[in-house]
Chains A and B, each alone.
Chain A
């Protein structure tokens, strides 16, 4: 897989979260006209995996009603878009916390590894794990 999508409420704010807080690298940032932007980022060690930070706007993908429904669902934290893995979860946890990232679960040992849960600036949640 080389592209995945994460629906975000605001691409500027999402840029700040994924790039400045999580430390992801910008892959492509293209203006496609007024109010339209193709923005993809990559995890630092996966330069070929593009994560598209998708705006939720009425147009060809969403009607006005479905865009509003989608925005509500994202705001409520409905979606868990994936799992991040790190080398040292406690160091990563302390660093992300100090940068203002919200964790809904602090690192905890589970039978499969150590896991924490975090939210992005839109409300999407992710698992952050370190294998045992």
Chain B
């Protein structure tokens, strides 16, 4: 049976983190999560921050923005992305996105779709020449 210091504490905090990862799009009540983990809210926030470097609320925001980045890469409209990841206000979403990513959602989406199109059109630009040559891709006419 495994044993290491604070094994049960770790398991509870990790489960809470995984809960946020899975349910980020829903209106999560962090009070409920701390109760489910058998912690007081204060203790839960402190332990979570010690392990993950962020409070649960900060972590939830980052997860939502990262998921939004994935969706924007698929050409999903920005408003749909905003609501799909759990935001209720387009302006809050856009403001937070820009603060974290450094680009507005539309700028980011444009950039990513351009990269995607470039990979499709000229994939060899993204592959080190030595690998492309070893794999025989430089000889193919379509590239």
Inter-subunit contact A36/B127 (CB<8 Å): no
* B128 at interface, CB cutoff 8 A: yes
Q: Which of B122-143 contact A (CB under 8 A)?
A: 123, 126-128, 131, 134-137, 140, 142-143
List the A side residues contacting B113 at CB < 8 Å: none
Query: Could you tell me the distance between the alpha carbons of A38 and B136 in the complex, rounded to whole angstroms?
Result: 12
- Main secondary structure on A side of the interface with B: mixed
Q: Which of A31, A52, A59, A90 contacts B136 (CB 8 A)?
A: A59
Query: Could you tell me the distance between the alpha carbons of A36 and B11 in the complex, rounded to whole angstroms?
Result: 40
Query: Could you tell me the distance between the alpha carbons of A90 and B52 in the complex, rounded to whole angstroms?
Result: 12
Number of A-B pairs, beta carbon distance below 8 Å: 62
Q: Which of B41-67 contact A (CB under 8 A)?
A: 51-53
Inter-subunit contact A91/B10 (CB<8 Å): yes
* A16 at interface, CB cutoff 8 A: no
List the B side residues contacting A88 at CB < 8 Å: 51-52
Inter-subunit contact B123/A98 (CB<8 Å): no
- Main secondary structure on B side of the interface with A: helix
Query: Could you tell me the distance between the alpha carbons of A52 and B131 in the complex, rounded to whole angstroms?
Result: 10
> With A3-B128, A106-B2 in contact, do A60 and B134 touch (Cβ < 8 Å)?
yes
Residue tally, chain B, CB below 8 Å to A:
29
List the B side residues contacting A100 at CB < 8 Å: none
B69-102: CB near A (< 8 Å → 1, else 0) gives 0000000000000000000000000000000000
Inter-subunit contact B135/A32 (CB<8 Å): yes
Query: Could you tell me the distance between the alpha carbons of A98 and B7 in the complex, rounded to whole angstroms?
Result: 14
Q: Which of A32, A52, A107 contacts B123 (CB 8 A)?
A: A32
Binding site for A on B (CB under 8 A): 2, 4-7, 10-11, 13-15, 17-18, 51-53, 119-120, 123, 126-128, 131, 134-137, 140, 142-143
